[in-house]
């Protein structure tokens, strides 16, 4: 079995599920925990999968874009109004509601690319071997509810 690590980044994030039949159709926020789970078949020269700082350095700036932002379905009639008023703090989900499941996949995709790019940069203080894999991203919506995305 491979070694696994998890780095959690916490953000305050809002969303609006315009097609939801109840209160979730209104803008609301969550204190989200985003867990990035990485694995490797063997440990590096420092006896680690990788340094936790790598995850924060590589992924943190991308996730920060979602902190104190509102994710919305771009088809919602209020989307253009709010986007005009608040700019990039209103994040479009093209023609779909930004469920926690879709946020997990979005964060997985962003993190995969960021970690690949980080790994290719040989001048970094903390090396990231290409054998380290992002296996899943879990996004907590509340203390008792989460969604997870893994490509396999």
Q: Identify the pLDDT of residue 79.
A: 97
CATH number at residue 67: 3.30.479.10
Q: Which stretches of the chain score pLDDT less than 70?
A: none
Please count the structural domains in the chain. 1
The answer to whether 140 and 43 are in contact (CB under 8 A) is no
Q: Identify the pLDDT of residue 102.
A: 98
Q: Identify the pLDDT of residue 53.
A: 95
Q: How many residues does the chain have?
A: 152
DSSP character string of 124-146? -SS---TT-EEEEEEEEEETTEE
pTM attached to this predicted model? 0.95
Over the stretch 14-28, which tens digit does the pLDDT of each residue have? 999 999 999 999 999
- Domain range for residue 62? 3-149
DSSP code of 17? -
The answer to whether 90 and 70 are in contact (CB under 8 A) is yes
Q: Identify the pLDDT of residue 125.
A: 85
Q: Identify the pLDDT of residue 121.
A: 87
CA of 57: how far to CAs of 45, 81, 129, in Å? 20, 34, 15
Residue 14 and residue 29: Cα distance in Å, rounded? 4
**108 exposure class (CB count in 10 Å sphere: 0-12, 13-18, 19+):** buried
Residue 59 and residue 149: Cα distance in Å, rounded? 16
Q: Which of 98, 42, 102, 40 is nearest to 71 (CA)?
A: 98
């Amino acid at each position: 079995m491979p070694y696994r690590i998890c780095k959690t980044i916490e953000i305050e994030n809002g969303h609006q599920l315009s097609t939801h039949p109840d209160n979730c159709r209104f803008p609301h926020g969550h204190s989200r925990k985003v867990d990035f789970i990485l694995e490797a078949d063997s440990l590096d020269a420092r006896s680690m999968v990788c340094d936790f700082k790598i995850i924060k350095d590589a992924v943190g700036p991308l996730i920060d874009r979602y902190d104190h932002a509102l994710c919305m379905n771009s088809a919602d009639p209020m989307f253009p109004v709010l986007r005009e008023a608040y700019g990039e703090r209103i994040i479009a989900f093209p023609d779909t509601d930004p469920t926690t499941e879709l946020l997990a996949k979005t964060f997985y995709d962003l993190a995969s690319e960021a970690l690949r790019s980080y790994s290719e940069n040989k001048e970094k203080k903390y090396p990231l071997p290409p054998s380290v894999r992002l296996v899943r991203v879990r996004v907590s919506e509340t203390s008792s509810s989460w969604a997870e995305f893994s490509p396999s």
